[in-house]
């Protein structure tokens, strides 16, 4: 079936009415620039699409399709209706607010097999690795057929696009929210949202969403189980760090079981050592600090902790050795004041005063600096 046409581009159509307000995060305006809009006589629309429309309607078609028709030797003024069906789905997907969408939906619904045809087209686009075009077309399809199956494919496609191009993040979040809105107990959107939050470093929310996926009947494959265990471990690790100084025993109850899983992480041994230091178990603190150093010997905080723990055990010379190394790197006033106190404890007043002067230059208003100044004045 074919129809006679007159051709306009997107800008001409926009000038005849409302502009194209592209929606839902990512802009597909550059895609619409490749679409031509064809003016069709009212009687032709009624004959072909079985709709009566009392205003001019412009039907979309991909410019490449027109070039293809010409190359195939077809009459420029006669184009297959399937090209218009494909164009209508594409425009609806690219711009939900396009002025003729309501008419396009009516036309599509009056064409038998249009849904089956466009699903085949989407499959072909995916097969050709034209993922964005497939996604846009599928986004148009859900305006006509909002089935769970179509939304499942929508989520899969947009997640794949986001994995290739992070600018699709808002688009995927829109697809997730829309799916949850239409299918309240459908688990899949929660899994995709979990993955996004995990990649963004919000492990607590990711775990919450994964649990929602499972509660709603999501399949617990080995990959899902591994993900849940990994997220739970990270969330527990973060909780232990938060409560470390106020509740060191509780922090240790969380951290010790995680040591095997995070055995290559030098910082977990560092946090365990802090808990033991707060509990005044300095030997154990030093044991775990040495484990940390065996993995990475260039973490200043770990070296500083060794100095603090040796000082707590009264081994001031050893403590000074570690603290001097840290101070050379950090020039931190806290390390400098620790050195002052170590020198005081072994009676090296000259060195203590020298380091106090250095500390005063770094941060004269520091509370410990002022306290040490008062002590050394009387010596």
Query: Which pLDDT belongs to residue 273?
Result: 99
String of b and e for 274-308 (b: at least 16 CB within 10 Å)?
Answer: bbbbbeebbebbbebbebbbeeeeebeebbbbbbb
How many residues does this entry show for the chain?
379
Query: Which pLDDT belongs to residue 251?
Result: 99
Structure tokens at 376: 């050394």
Query: Which pLDDT belongs to residue 75?
Result: 56
Query: What torsion do the CA atoms of 214, 220, 226, 232 make, to the nearest 10 degrees?
Result: 20
* 3-state class (DSSP) for residue 259: coil
Q: Is 73 exposed, middle or buried (0-12, 13-18, 19+ CB in 10 A)?
A: exposed
Query: Which pLDDT belongs to residue 18?
Result: 40
Query: Which pLDDT belongs to residue 186?
Result: 98
Structure tokens at 151: 């939304």
Q: What is the pLDDT along the chain (379 residues), one digit of tens a residue?
A: 444 444 455 555 553 334 333 344 566 877 888 888 888 777 777 888 888 787 788 899 988 777 676 556 555 556 788 999 999 999 999 998 899 999 999 999 998 899 999 999 999 999 999 999 999 999 999 999 999 999 999 999 999 999 999 999 999 999 999 999 999 999 999 999 999 999 999 999 999 999 999 999 999 999 999 999 999 999 999 999 999 999 999 999 999 999 999 999 999 999 999 999 999 999 999 999 999 999 999 999 999 999 999 999 999 999 999 999 999 999 999 999 999 999 999 999 999 999 999 999 999 999 999 999 999 988 7
Q: 37 — phi, psi (to 5°)?
A: -115, 130
Query: Which pLDDT belongs to residue 21?
Result: 36
């Amino acid at each position: 079936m074919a129809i006679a046409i007159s051709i306009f581009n997107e800008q001409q159509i926009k000038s005849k009415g409302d502009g194209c307000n592209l929606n839902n995060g990512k802009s597909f305006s550059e895609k619409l620039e490749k679409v031509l809009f064809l003016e069709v006589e009212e009687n032709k629309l009624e004959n072909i699409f079985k709709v009566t429309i009392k205003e001019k309607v412009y039907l979309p078609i991909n410019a490449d399709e027109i070039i293809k028709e010409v190359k195939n030797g077809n009459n420029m003024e006669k184009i297959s209706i399937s090209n218009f069906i494909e164009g209508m789905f594409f425009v609806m997907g690219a711009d939900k607010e396009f002025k003729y969408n309501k008419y396009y939906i009516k036309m599509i619904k009056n064409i038998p097999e249009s849904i089956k045809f466009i699903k085949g087209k989407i499959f072909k686009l995916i097969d050709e690795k034209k993922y964005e075009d497939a996604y846009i077309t599928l986004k148009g399809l859900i305006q006509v057929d909002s089935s769970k199956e179509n939304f499942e494919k929508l989520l899969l496609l947009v997640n794949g696009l986001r994995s290739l191009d992070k600018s699709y993040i808002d688009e995927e979040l829109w697809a997730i929210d829309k799916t949850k809105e239409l299918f309240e107990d459908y688990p899949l959107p929660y899994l995709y949202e979990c993955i996004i939050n995990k990649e963004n470093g919000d492990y607590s929310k990711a775990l919450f969403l994964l649990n929602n996926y499972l509660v709603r009947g999501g399949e617990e494959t080995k990959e899902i189980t591994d993900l849940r265990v990994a997220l739970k471990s990270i969330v527990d690790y973060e909780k232990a760090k938060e409560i470390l100084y106020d509740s060191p025993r509780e922090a240790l109850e969380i951290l010790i079981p995680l040591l095997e899983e995070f055995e290559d992480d030098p910082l977990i041994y560092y946090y365990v050592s802090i808990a033991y230091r707060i509990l005044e178990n300095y030997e154990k603190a030093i044991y775990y600090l040495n484990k940390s150093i065996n993995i990475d010997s260039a973490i200043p905080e770990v070296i500083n902790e060794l100095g603090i723990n040796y000082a707590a055990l009264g081994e001031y010379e050893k403590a000074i050795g570690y603290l001097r190394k840290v101070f050379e790197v950090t020039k931190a006033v806290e390390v400098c004041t620790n050195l002052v106190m170590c020198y005081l404890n072994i009676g090296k007043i000259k060195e203590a005063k020298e380091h106090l002067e250095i500390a005063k230059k770094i941060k004269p208003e520091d509370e410990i600096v002022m306290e040490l100044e008062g002590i050394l004045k009387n010596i």
